[in-house]
């Protein structure tokens, strides 16, 4: 069976679709064979922050998940990764050693539990979703300096002080979009054609389209192709808000996990998964981005507090929850395809 066929047939066990609390995560990690686990430090709220290692290969890969509090699928994928790799891509465990922080933001995860369900409800999500603002954002807070959150200071030595990495994955999601969006660091954009072809095939096989938007470099997002763009950066974020005459906001951005991985790595391929929790089932448009149309209509409905307008919005954009298993499969496929790509270029 080819890698593509294996990934398309990847089965996600229902019992793994669990949004674990910190004690539950501790028990889960202790149950994993050959995955040494370390308490790296503690969250701002005093919860344990875990890191585990997996594999025995000569090349190192770093993975972070859960940086944004309202994106539970990254942690689910990171916590399921040992099982998935051993079942569907065991050869990668001989090529690579994985260093994984499966929940970067346990405090934020706890604040989002009221809306979580195996089949999320959009209006419940709107009522209870919590996301940190810039300056408190874990993803753009990777520093060992005093301004950084304790989660970021604790994760950096484990992820990047041991050895240079050849790949880094930051597992994220979007609240809503018209399809999948994959981000990769700019130095690899011109080296990614084969990788993009594979991911397009797997994404389409899962019945999902692609998010289409061209931000023309703003905040670091440069469109590469349909469904693909470059990763944002703190430098570009800083420049964007300086241009908006908002130096206070600009100053809040510290390096992202991708930037630290690039600075301490061995020309790493860095990727971010952006898979929608709710899909907008309307045709994508570069000229009139669906994301912006939906956002503006949602804001207008929320300002007046019109429940019927919100319900109409769901109907107009044919909004529907994306199966949790589909999101996990595509995050896993992104990592496997990317590592195959890295291995082939280093052969």
How confident is the model over 266-284, as pLDDT tens digits? 999 999 999 999 999 999 9
Burial 45-57 (b: 16+ CB within 10 A, else e): eebbbbbbbbbeb
Q: Are strands 269-279 and 320-321 parallel, antiparallel or unpaired?
A: antiparallel
Lowest mean pLDDT among 18-27, 225-234, 293-302, 335-344: 293-302
- Which pLDDT value is given to residue 10? 94
- Which pLDDT value is given to residue 305? 78
Specify the DSSP element, H or E, that contains 347: none
Residue 19's contacts (CB-CB under 8 Å, 6 or more residues apart) are 72, 75, 76, 109, 113, 116
- Which pLDDT value is given to residue 344? 95
- Which pLDDT value is given to residue 307? 86
Task: Answer yes or no: are the C-beta atoms of 77 and 195 closer than 8 Å.
Answer: no
- Which pLDDT value is given to residue 207? 95
- Flag whether pLDDT at 188 surpasses 80: yes
Q: Which residue reads 């930051």 in tokens?
A: 170
334 closest CA partner among 156, 76, 77, 110: 77
Nearest-angstrom CA–CA distance, 290 and 209: 13
Nearest-angstrom CA–CA distance, 255 and 232: 10
Instruction: Report the predicted TM-score, pTM, of the whole model to 2 decimal places.
Output: 0.97
Residue 45's contacts (CB-CB under 8 Å, 6 or more residues apart) are 106, 107, 110
Q: Is 41 left (phi over 0), alpha (psi -120 to 50) or beta?
A: left
Half-sphere exposure at residue 81, Cβ-oriented, CA atoms within 13 angstroms: 36
> What is the average per-residue pLDDT within 79-107?
97
Lowest mean pLDDT among 82-86, 162-166, 301-305, 317-321: 301-305
- Which pLDDT value is given to residue 248? 95
Structure tokens at 152: 């970021």
């Amino acid at each position: 069976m080819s890698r593509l066929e294996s990934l398309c047939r990847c089965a996600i066990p229902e019992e793994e679709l669990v949004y674990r609390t910190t004690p539950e995560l501790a028990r889960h990690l202790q149950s994993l064979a050959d995955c040494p686990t370390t308490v790296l430090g503690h969250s701002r709220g005093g919860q344990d922050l875990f890191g585990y290692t997996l594999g025995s290969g000569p090349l190192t890969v770093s993975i972070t998940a859960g940086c944004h509090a309202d994106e539970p699928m990254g942690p689910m994928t990171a916590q399921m990764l040992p099982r998935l790799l051993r079942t569907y891509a065991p050869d990668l465990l001989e090529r690579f050693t994985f260093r994984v922080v499966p929940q970067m933001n346990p405090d934020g995860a706890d604040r989002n539990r009221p809306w979580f369900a195996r089949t999320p409800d959009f209006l419940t999500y709107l009522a209870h979703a919590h996301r940190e603002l810039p300056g408190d954002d874990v993803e753009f807070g990777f520093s060992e300096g005093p301004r950084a959150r304790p989660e970021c200071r604790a994760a950096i030595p484990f992820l990047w002080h041991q050895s240079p990495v050849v790949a880094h994955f930051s597992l994220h999601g979007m609240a809503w979009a018209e399809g999948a969006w994959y981000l990769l660091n700019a130095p690899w954009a011109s080296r990614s054609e084969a990788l993009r072809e594979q991911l397009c095939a797997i994404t389409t096989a899962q019945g999902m389209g692609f998010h289409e938007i061209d931000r023309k470099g703003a905040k670091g997002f440069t469109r590469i192709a349909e469904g693909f763009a470059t990763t944002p950066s703190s430098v570009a974020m800083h420049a964007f808000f300086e241009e908006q005459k908002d130096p206070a906001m600009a100053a809040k951005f510290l390096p992202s996990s991708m930037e630290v991985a690039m600075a301490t790595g061995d020309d790493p391929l860095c990727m971010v998964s952006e898979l929608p929790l709710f899909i907008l089932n309307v045709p994508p448009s570069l000229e009139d981005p669906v994301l912006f149309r939906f956002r503006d209509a949602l804001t207008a409905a929320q300002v007046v507090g019109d429940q019927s307008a919100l319900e109409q919005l769901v109907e107009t954009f044919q909004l529907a929850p994306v199966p949790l298993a589909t999101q996990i499969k595509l995050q896993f496929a992104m990592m496997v395809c990317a590592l195959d790509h890295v291995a082939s270029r280093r052969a």
